[in-house]
Amino acid sequence: MIYYTQIKTQIGNLGLVRDDNSFLRVYLPNEDISEQILQKIYPNVDIIEDKSGFEDVISQLTEYFDGNRRHFTIKTKMEMPQFYKKALAEVAKVPYGETVSYSQIAHRLNNPKAARAVGSANARNPFPIIIPCHRIIANNGKLGGYGGGLNMKKYLLEFEKENLNTH
């Protein structure tokens, strides 16, 4: 079984997807989430729109958007190459309100030439916000890309910086 729901946030509706055991994905507001789309990703599986089972995820995301959570403790399941998992694990360590470059993440992985691969891992991050790929920027200080668009990335970075000063 695959379950999905949506929650309203100040950046728009986030889509949430889980199976019976794990949280599988966050869809940003500019990404479509529907039973038809999920059926293509998870063929031959029953798909149900149901908010139950998402309580912890919704609670943590709500706390984040209220400015009261800086780190997530959600059990996730990632189906992706090992390097991408390692890169995203490193991205998850970037502190709230701070930014680091793709190159810095590559260096932390002892693979200094892998900045582009780190970018690819970020682009395939199934848990935006939770694994804060919005905190990863280009070496020149520019924002780089973001699945939700640069305005959303800029908003999230400014939101976190403002909350650092008020909490």
Give the residue numbers annotated as catalytic, written as ranges.
Answer: 133
Question: What is the rounded CA–CA span in Å between residue 77 and residue 24?
Answer: 6
Torsion of CA 71, 41, 12, 68, to 10 degrees: -10
Give the DSSP letter of residue 95: P
Residue type, 163: N
User: What are the distances in angstroms from CA 51 to CA 30, 96, 131?
Assistant: 20, 28, 22
Question: What is the rounded CA–CA span in Å between residue 120 and residue 99?
Answer: 17
| Residues 129, 25 contacting (CB under 8 angstroms) | no
| Residues 106, 118 contacting (CB under 8 angstroms) | yes
Question: What is the rounded CA–CA span in Å between residue 154 and residue 116?
Answer: 21
